Amino acid sequence: MTACDLGLVGLGTMGANLARNLADHRISVALHDPAPGTAARLAGELAGRGQAAPSLADLVGALKAPRTIFLMVPAGAAVDQSVDALLPLLTVGDAIVDGGNSLYMDTERRVETCAAHGVDFLGFGLSGGAEGARHGPSIMAGGGPSVGRLAPMFRAIAAQAEGEACFAHVGPGGAGHFVKMLHNGIEYALMQLIAESYQLMHGMLGLSPAEMAAVFRTWAGGDLGGFLIEAAARVLATPDVDTGRPLIDLIEDRAGQKGTGRWAASATLDYGVAAPTLAEAVHARCLSALKPERVAAQTALGSPMRFFAGDRTAFVADLGAALLAANVAVHAQGFATLAAASAEKGWALDLGQIARIWRGGCIIRSRLLAAIAAAYGRNADLANLLRDPDVWAIVAPRDPAWRRIVGAAVAHGVPAPAFASALSYVDAYRTGRLWANMIEGQRDLFGAHGFGRVDRPGRFHADWAKS
Ligand code: 6PG
């Protein structure tokens, strides 16, 4: 049997689909999975391009040198266990690639551990879910020298956007997983904005799922076009197979989370970046999880939600405008976080390149990303996405509609934290003199922390009024 190009460990839905995608591109894979029979079944399906490996030693033995083992195992302990088991079997120059949603700091630790054995540990962020793995994910490759050797293989299996492969070596160490984590932070915020749009149309206007599906379909055909808007239309259009009722009405209003959105929000704080909407999206999922408490509170305190008596068509038009403007603000927050982490870690992330590889294959792919890629193409050192004239030209005309939506949501008691926080972010970002002088005054009053003055250099204390 000829030696395989790549070893794949973990043949769940994602891993198996990745193997099928690799095989389609004439890349031969040695396959290993702890569940007996799984690798053999998949190898049979891949007809000559897959070879089952009953043990990790068999897997390593089946590979061309330098060997590459791609891990598609759950993030956390399973990655460490795989690395521990593989290291004694590998030699200098071999590589282990982690394609899961690992925490970037874990990736950095594993890079060190493997480097001590001469093995290159690479963290690849993959986005696109099961479909993406099968037909072309967006791949955010992070790590050292082996990325160059592996690039042709992964470029071949990646999604395409405007003729360009959605694959990039984004940076060293944990950079690939950091970029994927921020992708997911943005994903959470965009999903929250969509969920709020749904609730505003449903709770305030009383639109039916079919009517809302039509709205999302119209939006998907315009400037808002993107995978998540299409996904929302599909969710709203799907009937329950048992009852025939709209499935959305039967789904429990409690959102799960596996951690990447929370990690992203926490990274924005670690790097001191204002990204309130990324955090709001996580808070919103946490609030949603309090189902019994919310139901009890509604009984005890009453729901603030009121019906809307105004022009419904105009409201939906405003909502679409607000959603696009808020989407821009969310990307501005995400890219600002990437820029700050890049500067602190010395990663030299190319933000334009990241926007380009997010145009296809990944969950947040949308028309807006082409405009974002163009903005960073014009100026790679943009202080903030909002400062690009073409990007601002998307937000500025929608500003009045956005305020009307947030105002109406507040007035009608419909919680819309992502819409509101994104608007506050943009308002604060373009306010030359903010409220922080009051905070500085209080800090000096109770803690003698000192403050800067607008009229002279240096640090000052004041003898504050006694009452
Ligand atoms: C992707 C997705 C994928 C996964 C998220 C969902 O880019 O393909 O982001 O990674 O769907 O982990 O995360 P939650 O389960 O936390 O919503």
Angle at which helices 104-115 and 77-86 pack, to 10 degrees? 10
Between 47-51, 167-171, 354-358, the lowest mean confidence (pLDDT) is in: 47-51
Is the domain of 161 the same as that of 200? no
Domain end among 155, 173, 191: 173
Helices (H) and strands (E) in the chain, counts: 20, 12
Structure tokens at 69: 């083992």
- 373: in domain: yes
Is the domain of 123 the same as that of 207? no
Ligand 1 pocket check for 261: Cβ under 6 Å:
yes
- 436: in domain: no
Structure tokens at 93: 């120059």
Atom of ligand 1 lying closest to residue 132 CA:
8
Ligand 1 pocket check for 102: Cβ under 6 Å:
no
Average pLDDT of the chain is 97
Distance 258 CA to ligand 1 centre (A): 7
Would you place residue 2 in the very low, low, confident or very high pLDDT band (cuts 50, 70, 90)?
confident
- 396: in domain: yes
Probe residue for ligand 1, chosen from 14, 101, 194 as the CB with the greatest number of ligand atoms within 8 Å: 101
Is the domain of 284 the same as that of 195? yes
Is the domain of 264 the same as that of 400? yes
For 372-401, what is the mean pLDDT?
98
Is the domain of 152 the same as that of 276? no
- 434: in domain: no
Contact between residue 327 and residue 391 where contact means Cβ atoms under 8 Å apart:
no
Is the domain of 57 the same as that of 163? yes
Calpha distance 24→447 (Å, rounded): 65
pLDDT confidence of residue 25: 97
pLDDT confidence of residue 34: 94
Probe residue for ligand 1, chosen from 17, 72, 258 as the CB with the greatest number of ligand atoms within 8 Å: 258
- Our count of domains for the chain comes to 2
Contact between residue 185 and residue 334 where contact means Cβ atoms under 8 Å apart:
yes
Domain end among 173, 204, 230: 173
Percent of the chain scoring above 90 in pLDDT: 99
Distance 183 CA to ligand 1 centre (A): 9
Does position 268 have pLDDT exceeding 80, yes or no? yes
pLDDT digits (tens, 9 = 90+) for 90-108: 999 999 999 999 999 999 9
Calpha distance 267→261 (Å, rounded): 10
For 315-334, what is the mean pLDDT?
98
Would you place residue 249 in the very low, low, confident or very high pLDDT band (cuts 50, 70, 90)?
very high
In our burial notation (b when 16+ CB lie closer than 10 A, e otherwise), range 160-193 reads ebeebbbbbbbbbbbbbbbbbbbbbbbbbbbbbb
Atom of ligand 1 lying closest to residue 262 CA:
16
pLDDT digits (tens, 9 = 90+) for 401-445: 999 999 999 999 999 999 999 999 999 999 999 999 999 999 999
For 192-200, what is the mean pLDDT?
98
Ligand 1 pocket check for 187: Cβ under 6 Å:
yes
Is the domain of 167 the same as that of 213? no
The CATH number for 91's domain is: 3.40.50.720
- 450: in domain: no
Distance 411 CA to ligand 1 centre (A): 33
The CATH number for 238's domain is: 1.10.1040.10
For 193-212, what is the mean pLDDT?
98
Atom of ligand 1 lying closest to residue 129 CA:
8
Identity (one letter) of the amino acid at 25? H
pLDDT confidence of residue 349: 98
Q: What is the DSSP string of 155-190?
A: HHHS-EETTEESEEEEESTTHHHHHHHHHHHHHHHH
Contact between residue 145 and residue 120 where contact means Cβ atoms under 8 Å apart:
yes
Ligand 1 pocket check for 51: Cβ under 6 Å:
no
Would you place residue 162 in the very low, low, confident or very high pLDDT band (cuts 50, 70, 90)?
very high
For 135-153, what is the mean pLDDT?
97
pLDDT digits (tens, 9 = 90+) for 428-437: 999 999 999 9
Ligand 1 pocket check for 129: Cβ under 6 Å:
yes
Calculate ∠ Cα 120-124-129, nearest 5°.
150
pLDDT confidence of residue 1: 67
Distance 403 CA to ligand 1 centre (A): 31
- Please list the active-site residues: 180, 187
- 466: in domain: no
Calpha distance 350→370 (Å, rounded): 15
Calpha distance 8→15 (Å, rounded): 7
Probe residue for ligand 1, chosen from 102, 127, 140, 184 as the CB with the greatest number of ligand atoms within 8 Å: 184
Atom of ligand 1 lying closest to residue 259 CA:
16
Is the domain of 118 the same as that of 194? no
Q: What is the 8-class DSSP label of residue 202?
A: I
Contact between residue 17 and residue 134 where contact means Cβ atoms under 8 Å apart:
yes
Is the domain of 191 the same as that of 278? yes
- Count of C-beta atoms within a 10 Å radius of residue 133: 26
Distance 184 CA to ligand 1 centre (A): 6
* 366: phi then psi, degrees, rounded to nearest 5: -165, 165
pLDDT confidence of residue 47: 85
Question: What pTM value is reported for the model?
Answer: 0.97
Is the domain of 147 the same as that of 218? no
Which H/E stretch holds residue 101?
Answer: none
Residue closest via CA to ligand 1's atom 9 equals 184
Domain end among 173, 196, 225: 173
The domain of 42 spans: 6-173
Is the domain of 424 the same as that of 293? yes
For 37-64, what is the mean pLDDT?
96
Task: Return all residues near 340 (Cβ < 8 A) that are at least 6 apart.
Answer: 271, 272, 273
Residue closest via CA to ligand 1's atom 14 equals 257
Task: Return all residues near 243 (Cβ < 8 A) that are at least 6 apart.
Answer: 250
Pick the closest to residue 81 from 98, 105, 67, 61 (CA basis).
98
Is the domain of 10 the same as that of 45? yes
- 263: in domain: yes
- 102: in domain: yes
In our burial notation (b when 16+ CB lie closer than 10 A, e otherwise), range 425-462 reads bbeebeeeeeeeeeebeeebeeeeeebeeeeeeeeeee
